[in-house]
Amino acid sequence: MPSPSDFELSRRDLLVGASASAAVTAMPAMAMAQGAPAAVSGDSEAPVLSKVSFEVNGERRELDLDLRTTLLDALREHLQLTGTKKGCDHGQCGACTVIVEGRRMNSCLSLAVMHEGDAITTIEGLGTPDDLHAMQAAFVKHDGYQCGYCTPGQICSAVSVLEEVKAGIPSHVSADLNAAPEATGEELRERMSGNICRCGAYSNIVEAMTEVAGRPA
């Protein structure tokens, strides 16, 4: 049976052990503060590269990417397609929306290596300044932007939304009405709700989309 002094010893040992481990933990920070290189914790920090090949705006592109690279960073930083914007980088604003295999997607939420073989369309692939896509022309006509930061994502989303409506893919609105989706203002607003515009160009965006959908405003 252990005596009280054994317990005393154990407690002291524990305290000595705890301070030693705190000192060890603090060593890299102290070393860095003194200008010495800190030991890097091995392989977990080393990038793991992988080849990925996809079609961007009709052109086959092949990249060697860190597995952690998002599709957004692959487009912007590796392919210099900076039309696609980084807003929140957390799937909350829609500024990074691109069209992948015909469906809109927040490119900040998807790893590039998951898109092997996919067809990706960015704002640069929808139209050119001399030959605008119908949605781009409608945004210009209806003042569907102010600062323009959200606009590439809004336009990519808007193009996809009209395709979704045409394909009869239901939203909360059409499901609630128990009806086939139509490009009504309410339907369009609901479907575009993931694209935030800090300038508040929402009604102009809906007007632009309504015109492209061929409905009376």
Query: Residue 18: helix, strand or coil by DSSP?
Result: helix
Which residue's entry shows tokens 């524990």? 14
Q: In the bound complex, what is the minimum distance in angstroms from residue 142's beta carbon to ligand FES?
A: 12
> Which residues of this chain interact with ligand FES, rule CB under 6 A?
86-89, 91-96, 106, 108, 145-151, 197-199, 201
* Nearer Cβ to ligand FES (63/196): 196
Q: In the bound complex, what is the minimum distance in angstroms from residue 10's beta carbon to ligand FES?
A: 54
Which pair of tokens denotes residue 91? 């799937």
* Nearer Cβ to ligand FES (95/174): 95
205/112 Cα distance (integer angstroms): 29
* Nearer Cβ to ligand FES (159/181): 159
68/32 Cα distance (integer angstroms): 26
Task: Please classify residue 68 by burial: count the beta carbons closer than 10 Å to its beta carbon, then call 0-12 exposed, 13-18 middle and 19+ buried.
Answer: exposed
Residue type, 18: A
Q: In the bound complex, what is the minimum distance in angstroms from residue 91's beta carbon to ligand FES?
A: 5
Task: Please classify residue 130 by burial: count the beta carbons closer than 10 Å to its beta carbon, then call 0-12 exposed, 13-18 middle and 19+ buried.
Answer: exposed
* Nearer Cβ to ligand FES (23/88): 88
Which pair of tokens denotes residue 110? 């998807």
Q: In the bound complex, what is the minimum distance in angstroms from residue 151's beta carbon to ligand FES?
A: 6
* Nearer Cβ to ligand FES (104/133): 104
